[in-house]
Amino acid sequence: MIDLHMHSMFSDGTFTPEELVAAGVRNGVKAMALTDHDTTAGVPRFLAAAEAVGMRAFSGVEVSAEVESGTLHVLGYGIQPEHPGLKENLTWIRKGREDRNLEILRKLNEMGMALTYEEVTAYAGADVVARPHFAQAMMAKGYVGNKREAFDRFLARGKPAYVERSRMDASDTFSLIRQAGGLPVLAHPFSLKLSGEPLRAKVEEFTRQGLGGIEVYYPEHSPERLRAYLRLAHEFDLVATGGSDFHGAVSPGVEIGRGSGHLHVPDSVANALQQRLGTV
């Protein structure tokens, strides 16, 4: 059992890097990766904690990129967390997120929700403030009953409090991750809102631009989706990765290594990833 997709308090998770490793050990996970949103600040602590207990671990990051359809998140595995170019660009992305956050707050206030930025940031960890933290603040004030309601009614794309933010395009994102020594992987492909031939064409385009893997094993992937993504991985010689997308308390019912109970990422995935990283 392995888990190559999880978040810590350095982005929008609730666990410290050390707590993630400890939870992985308790759940019998054999290999892990920390993939915080748009930051590598927690990676050194994560790798140190993993080494201390003999856990196989990969450095990682999850970068939001621009795409014309749906949402594009790119996982970068094996990156050098202190790579200057990577850090500079992630700082720019986070600045865009901060500007977006202030606009989200303004919109929520205009809709009668008496929230302050201090109340929202109180739910954030050590670094990135993100939409799940707005959801937590909204829940605490009784404006919504749960995280899903917050997104479905207010925070998701197309909803009244949604605001776009600064992102790099796909090609530049793949290139940046490779420059930092990593392998770019398409996260939860269904978020592109494509399937069948349009998805195949998009993955083929991404592969020409430098994509190196696709997230096949994921809690929200049906057996049909899993098989479709595995076929794409084979067709375009992409590493098939997987993980729980664990966030801690903000996503109840999701466990490290197990997702919502049915996730199983084969141990061979870690070996395939390690082998591919050796050629980056």
Per-residue pLDDT of the chain (280 residues; tens, 9 = 90+): 999 999 999 988 889 999 999 999 999 999 999 999 999 999 999 999 999 999 999 999 999 898 887 889 999 999 999 999 999 999 988 888 888 899 999 999 999 999 999 899 888 755 567 788 899 999 999 999 998 999 999 999 889 999 887 788 999 999 999 999 999 999 999 999 999 999 999 999 999 999 999 999 999 999 999 999 999 999 999 999 999 999 998 788 899 999 988 899 999 999 999 999 987 6
Nearest Cα neighbor of 216 from 227, 200, 204, 203 is 227
Domains 2-79+170-277 and 90-155 alike in fold = no
Smallest CA-to-CA distance from 5 within 255, 261, 272, 277 is with 255
- What is the DSSP secondary structure assignment for residue 69, as one 8-state letter? S
Amino acid at 150: A
- Topology at the third CATH level for domain 2-79+170-277: TIM Barrel (3.20.20)
The β-bridge partners of 186 are 74, 214
β-pairing, 31-33 vs 56-58, is: parallel
Secondary structure (3-state) at 100:
helix
Task: List the chain domain ranges.
Answer: 2-79+170-277, 90-155
Domain 90-155 falls under CATH 3.30.565.10: no
Measure CA 34 to chain center. Answer: 9
